[in-house]
Amino acid sequence: MMIRVGILIWVLILTISGAPAEQTFYKGNTHAHSLWSDGNDFLEMVVDYYHRHDYDFVAVSDHDILARDRRWMAESAIHARQTGSGPSAIEKCVARFGPDWITWETVGGKTGVVLKTLAEVRAQFESPGEFLILEAQEISDQSNTGPVHINALNLARLVPTKDDTTRPAVEVMRELLQAVIAQEKTTGRPILTHLNHPNFQWAITAEDLATVTEERFFEVYNGHPSINHLGDETRPGNEVIWDIANTLRLTKLDSDPLFGVATDDSHHYHGGNVSPGRGWIQVAATELTPEALITAMRAGDFYASTGVELHHFSYDPETRILDFSIKSDGDTRFRSELIGTRRGYDKVDGTARIGEVFAFSSDRHVRFSVPVDALYARVTITATSPHPNPSFDFQTKQAWLQPVGWR
Ligand SMILES: [Zn+2]
Ligand SMILES: [Zn+2]
């Protein structure tokens, strides 16, 4: 009875203190590859991975191809992609969908498989309100500093690339994004883009990312181990890039800050080091449709995660209170940091700087007060528990909330 009374009082306190009910989030990965480009598993097996692992949506974003037309692939080419030991991609696909699923065809004397289209895979997996597949392209272009990769979700047709290695990254980014915006206007469908892995081959700087204000999203985390997530001795990692770009946008470019997504960029599904399940987003959308997901993301109603999960988050622009609660995870402890840049950060001596830590907390229910002179503030939550499938040394589980306090 004592315990019951205790619980009742606790519930009452929570209610009085205004802790909102559990928020509904849709979990998704917006960056993955299949045999349609350079991944090593069938599109349906990639989707099956996310479906089995309780994701609500996935975008398989192959390089510059949509899984619409007939595509044949030699059995030997499929085997050549295999990573790790164990059953082959074909054996696993037969085990999952049965022997009649695979369409064998011999072309020029070579045995091969006709790959399933997105429409066929959708028919197998999609269910309203339960599971959604977003059609996507990883627009994979070149610049004079390296690759410019932008994911476009829910697009109507392929965005063409030029692969011209003489043009600056900013120019390439802007042209690709303007092509997407034009497509959005002519088709009337929302298309969400995110700039991928800026530090991959050190192609895109924070200043580049700030300058191209057509882009509202970038990958603050990408699970590919080769994307220089943490930067190096002379170049900033993804989080610092985020703060530099946001500060430039809000002080010099009269533009909105960037929102950060976490993605897998998975290529390997049979062992191998570019594997799925490392990074995702949780979107507080009203329903599981492309339109609702994109609307919520554009409003900043989502967070990025590599393992830290939230019950809820909210921001009140009147009181400048950012309130969130973290789901428990065994005996894991959490450190939440409120990070941002103050107005006039470059004019005063002392602690004010780009990406200052305004406050921190070790609680699971956190209320941060965003400083009145902050240009913006965002939250990074870092857990003590290791990431189960790390993409860099000593990686622990994290989550990133979107910038607030800037409107
Ligand atoms: Zn890429
Ligand atoms: Zn990719």
Q: Which ligand is nearest to the CA of 136?
A: 2
Residue 176 has pLDDT above 70, yes or no: yes
Q: How far is CA 341 from CA 105, 248, 251, in A?
A: 59, 10, 10
Domains of the chain in start order, with CATH, are: 21-71+115-401 (3.20.20.140), 72-114 (no CATH)
- For 329-386, how does the pLDDT look when each residue is reduced to its tens digit (9 = 90+)? 999 999 999 999 999 998 876 667 999 999 999 999 999 999 999 999 999 999 999 9
Farthest CA pair distance, the chain:
78
Q: Which ligand is nearest to the CA of 60?
A: 2
What average pLDDT does range 41-53 have in this prediction?
98
Q: How far is the CA of 115 from the centre of ligand 2 (A)?
A: 19
Residue 122 has pLDDT above 80, yes or no: yes
Q: How far is the CA of 376 from the centre of ligand 2 (A)?
A: 30
Q: Which ligand is nearest to the CA of 62?
A: 2
Q: What angle (nearest 5°) sits at the alpha carbon of residue 191, between those of residues 166 and 39?
A: 65
Write out the residues surrounding ion ligand 2, Cβ under 5 A: 138, 265
Q: How far is the CA of 343 from the centre of ligand 2 (A)?
A: 36
Q: How far is the CA of 132 from the centre of ligand 2 (A)?
A: 20
Residue 85 has pLDDT above 90, yes or no: no
Q: In terms of Cα–Cα distance, which of 302, 310, 306, 304 is closest to 328?
A: 310
Q: How far is the CA of 31 from the centre of ligand 2 (A)?
A: 6
Amino acid at 217: F
Q: How far is the CA of 261 from the centre of ligand 2 (A)?
A: 14
Q: Which ligand is nearest to the CA of 197?
A: 1
Write out the residues surrounding ion ligand 1, Cβ under 5 A: 149, 196
* pLDDT at 329 (0 to 100): 97
Q: How far is the CA of 99 from the centre of ligand 1 (A)?
A: 33
* pLDDT at 172 (0 to 100): 98
Residue 16 has pLDDT above 90, yes or no: no
Residue 117 has pLDDT above 50, yes or no: yes
Q: How far is the CA of 247 from the centre of ligand 1 (A)?
A: 25
Q: In terms of Cα–Cα distance, which of 117, 136, 123 is closest to 58?
A: 136
What average pLDDT does range 102-128 have in this prediction?
98
* Residue 365, beta-bridge partner list: 325
Classify each residue of 288-308 as buried b or exposed e, where b means 16 or more C-beta atoms within 10 Å of its C-beta. Answer: bbbebbbbbbeebbbbbbbbb
Q: Are 131 and 56 in contact (CB under 8 A)?
A: yes
The span from the CA of 293 to the CA of 283, in Å, is 7
Q: How far is the CA of 21 from the centre of ligand 1 (A)?
A: 38
What average pLDDT does range 76-99 have in this prediction?
95
Q: Which ligand is nearest to the CA of 196?
A: 1
Residue 13 has pLDDT above 80, yes or no: no
Q: How far is the CA of 263 from the centre of ligand 1 (A)?
A: 11
Q: How far is the CA of 404 from the centre of ligand 2 (A)?
A: 28
Torsion, Cα 131 135 140 141, to 10 degrees, reads: -140
Residue 12 has pLDDT above 60, yes or no: no
* Average pLDDT of the chain to the nearest whole number: 94
The span from the CA of 326 to the CA of 361, in Å, is 12
Q: How far is the CA of 328 from the centre of ligand 2 (A)?
A: 32
- For 142-169, how does the pLDDT look when each residue is reduced to its tens digit (9 = 90+)? 999 999 999 999 999 999 999 999 999 9
Q: How far is the CA of 197 from the centre of ligand 1 (A)?
A: 7
Torsions phi, psi for 320 (to 5 deg): 60, 35
